[in-house]
Structure 1
C-alpha cells in the first residue's frame, strides 16, 4: 500500500460474497476484522446487535440492485458503539463495501482507495458522484422512490427490532412480577388465616360466655370481616398470578354441569337470603355432562352468582340456568339478575384485573376487582368464552359458552 493510501481517513473497505462472508480486506483502520479472514467471518460480525438484521438487509439490497448507498449501521468495537455510513456495489461477481464513521470522509476515502486501481472502487465512486451532483429534478424518479421506500423500510426494521427487544424485556419483567406476587401472597396468606380463625374463636366464645362489651364485640367482628376480605384478595392474587404466568392447570373430568350449578347456588343462598334475594334455577331434565375441572369451574359459577347478589337490589330475583344448542353439543350457562345494570362503555372493563365500574354493591359488600378476570381466564382455558349483556336499571346477564 502506498504512503498516500496509508494517510486515508479512517474507514473500512472489504470484499464480500453474496452472503456477506468476507473474501478480502482492502483497508480496515479500526481493526474490526481479522487480517486473514476465515470462511465464516461475516460483514455483520462488526455490527452492534441492533444493526445485524439491517446489515443483512444492506447485503440483500446490493445483491438485488447491484448497489446500496448511504446506509447507517451501528458498529461495535471494544465495547464501544459508533454510527457508520456504509455503501456497497456488486461488480464482476464480488461486492465491495466501504464504511466511514464520518460521512464527510467518504469521498476522500474513496479517492485514496482509487490508487489501488480497483475497478469496483472506481465504479462505486462514480455512482456516488452522480448521486451527489445530479440536480434533484433530473434524477430518476423510480430510483428516488425506491431509495425513499428503502429508507422507510430501514426505519421500520429498526422500530421492529426495538419493539421486539422491549417486548421481551416486558415479558421478563412480567414473569418476575408474577413470581414476586405469588411469593408475597403465599407469605401473607398464613398469618391472615390465623387472624381470621382467632377472630372466629373469639366470636364463638362471646356468643357462649359474653366476654366482650358490645363495642368490643363489634371490633372483633370487624377484624373477622376484614381478615376474610384480605384472605380473599390473597387467594385472587395467587390465582391471577398463576394464570398470567401460564401455570394454570386443569384436572378435567366428566361432570354433570347441572349438579355443579345446584351446588354453587346452594352455597350462595344464605348470602342471597340476607338480602331477600331469591335464586331460581332453570335446568334441563336430562344431565348435561362436560369435561371440566370441577373446582375451577365452580369458581367461575360462584363468582358470577355472588356478583349478581352483590349488585342486586333487596327483594329481587336471580336466575341461573343452561341453554342447550340443538345444532351442536355446545351449551350456554347464564346468570341473570334484576340489578342496577352496567353502562355499555364500561362492559369491556369488567374482565380487566382491578378495574372499577360505576355500579356499587347494594349492601356495602367489598370486591377485589379480580374475580371476573379470573373467571374469564378459566373459561378460556376450557376453550369457552364468557359474554355479558346489560341495561342500566334493568339488570345484567352473563353467558358462559362451553363447546
Structure 2
C-alpha cells in the first residue's frame, strides 16, 4: 500500500472515529438522563418544543389565564381597556400575543403575519396535551405556550403567548440543511487541500527520491543528487530525508572518486613494482650471464660483476622489505609497543651517529628539560632514518648537506621539525609526496634510488602514534617536515 493511500485511510479513520466517539458519548449521556437513546425527531423536539418557559412567558401566561378564569367573555371582541393594557405590557417584554376564535384571529401582535398564523398556528386541543411548541411565522421561528378553551357560545378559543427564538437557533432551524451541506463542502475542500498539500510537500519529494535512487542503482556513475526546488515548502521530515540523501550522494560520489583514484594508484602500483623489480633483476641476470659466458675474463671484472650483483640484490631486498612493511601497516598488522620515553634523550641517541659523519651536517635545537612521549622506539626509529635518507637522496649537489632537527612543546603537543637544504619539492609534487610509490622523478631513472614508499611509511607510522605530519618546501630552498605528537601526561606501563 502506498503512503498516499495510508494517509487517506488515516484521515478517513480519524473522521469516523471522531464522529463515532461523539455519537457514543451523546448516546451514553442520553441513556443515563432520559433512559433511552432518542431518535433524531425526538432530539429535534427536545431542542425546539420542550424547553422550559422563561419567567416572562410564565407571568404572561398567568396574566392572560386570570382573565379567562374570570370569564371567557373578557377575551371576546371588543377587548376591554384593562386587557389591552395587559397585552401591551406583555408585548413590551419582547413577547407576542394571539387571540383566536374558531378559525379567525381576533387579535395578534404587530410583528406577526395573519396568513402565516393561519398556515402554521397550533391546532385546537381542549385537553392541552401539547401546550408548548415551535411555529414558523413569516420565516421566523417562535416558541409558544397556548391555552385552549370554549367561548360562552361554544366556539373554539385560544390565547397564545409567543417568544421569538434567538437568531442562532432560528438560523439553524431555517438553514440547518444548508449549514450541514456547507460544512460537508468545507470538509471536502479541506480534505482535498490537505491531500494536495501533502502530495506536494511529502509524496512528490519522496517519489523524486525514489526516482533518483533507482537512477543510482541503474547507472555505473554517480550523478549529482538533484531535488525538485520548484516547491517553496517541503515538510521538515522530508527535508531532513533529502539532506540525508544529499549527504549520502556526496559520500558516494567521494567514495567513487576515491575508488577511481585507488584503481589508478593500483595500476600505477603494479607498473611501478614491475619497473622497480625488473630493473635490478635485469641487471643481475645480465651480470650473471656475463660471468657464465666468461665475459668477465679477469679477476677485476669478476669482482666488479659480483659487487654489482650484490648491490642490486640488496636493493631488491630493501624494496621487498618496504613493500612488506607497507602492506602490514596498511592492514594494521604491525604490532606497536609503546613506551614512556624521554623524547629529547631518544632523539639525541638517534642522531648521535650522524653528528660525527662528514657526509651530512646535523644541527639540533632541543629544550633542556625532559619531554615524555608514548613511542614505539623501533618503528619511530624508521621514521627518523627514512627522513634523513630521503634528505640525502634529494641533496643539492652544489652544497654540503645540512639537516636541522628541532623540538618544541605547544600546549599538549610535541612538535618535531626536520629542515634540510636540498633541492626542494615543486608545488605540483608537494600534495602527493605521501602517496605510495609516488616519486618526483617521473621517469624513474636510476639517478635517484628509492621505491617511493619511504614517506608513505613515515606517515602511517606517525599516524599510528596519534600524530600528524606536514611538509613545506620550495624548489632550490630545501624542505621542512613537521611531525606533531601528543605530549604524554599519564604513565604508560
TM-score, normalised with respect to structure 1: 0.50
What are the superposed Cα offsets for residues 128-182 of structure 1, whole Å, 9 maximum, x if unpaired? xxxxxxxxxxx969846755532331144457779899989x8xx99xx9xxx9x
Whole-angstrom distance in 2 between the partners of 1:279 and 1:329: 27
Deviations 1:195-222 (A, max 9, x none): 9xxx9xxxxxxxxxxx963322222222
What CA distance in whole angstroms lies between the structure 2 residues aligned with 1:261 and 1:159? Answer: 57
Q: What does the per-residue CA deviation read over 1:301-343, in whole Å, with 9 as the maximum and x for residues that have no partner?
A: 1111111111112413111221222xx2411111100111111
Asked if 1 retains the 8 angstrom alpha-carbon contact of 2:470 and 2:481, the reply is yes
Q: Does 1:152 align with 2:208?
A: yes
For residues 238 and 311 of structure 1, the distance between their equivalents in structure 2, rounded to whole angstroms, comes to 25
Cα distance in 2, alignment partners of residues 368 and 159 from structure 1: 43
Match of 2:481 in 1: 398
Query: Residue 285 of structure 1: SS of its match in structure 2?
Result: coil
Q: Give the alignment partner of residue 285 of structure 1, picking from 368, 380, 403.
A: 368
Tell me whether 1:224 sits opposite 2:310 in the alignment.
yes
Q: Which secondary structure does the structure 2 equivalent of 1:304 belong to?
A: helix
Of residues 326, 334, 338 in structure 2, which corresponds to 1:248?
334
The alpha-carbon deviation at position 226 of structure 1 amounts to: 1.4
> TM-score if structure 2 supplies the norm length?
0.42
- Following TM superposition, by how much is the alpha carbon of 1:397 offset from its aligned partner in structure 2, in angstroms? 0.5
Q: Quick one: structure 1 residues 232 and 152, their matched pair in 2 at CA, closer, same or farther if it must change by over 3 Å?
A: farther
Larger relative strand fraction: 1
Q: Looking at CA atoms only, which structure, 1 or 2, has the larger radius of gyration?
A: 2
Using a 3 Å threshold, how does the CA distance of structure 1 residues 258 and 145 change in structure 2: closer, same or farther?
A: same
Residue in 2 aligned with 1:119? none
Give the Cα–Cα distance (whole angstroms) in 2 for the partners of residues 296 and 283 of structure 1: 22
CA distance in 1, matches of 2:209, 2:374: 49
**CA-to-partner distance for each residue in 1:109-146, whole Å, 9 max, x for gaps?**
xxxxxxxxxxxxxxxxxxxxxxxxxxxxxx96984675
Residue 406 (structure 2) aligns with: 321
Contact map agreement 1:296 1:378 (CA 8 A) in 2: yes
Distance 1:269 1:364 in 2: 26
1:103 is matched with none
Q: What is the alpha-carbon distance in structure 2 between the residues aligned to residue 291 and residue 63 of structure 1?
A: 63
Could you list the runs of 5+ residues in structure 1 that have no partner in the other structure? 1-15, 17-58, 68-88, 94-138, 200-210
Partner of 2:321: 235
Q: Please, which runs of 5 or more residues in structure 2 have no aligned partner?
A: 15-194, 223-247, 289-296, 487-493
Deviation at 1:396, TM superposition (A): 0.2
Deviations 1:60-102 (A, max 9, x none): x3476449xxxxxxxxxxxxxxxxxxxxx99869xxxxxxxxx
1:245/1:152 Cα in 2 relative to 1: closer, same or farther (>3 Å)?
Answer: farther
The 4+ residue runs of structure 1 with deviation greater than 3 A are 61-67, 89-93, 139-148, 155-168, 266-270, 358-363
Given the superposition, is the C-alpha separation of residues 241 and 361 from structure 1 closer, same or farther in structure 2, using an over 3 Å criterion? closer
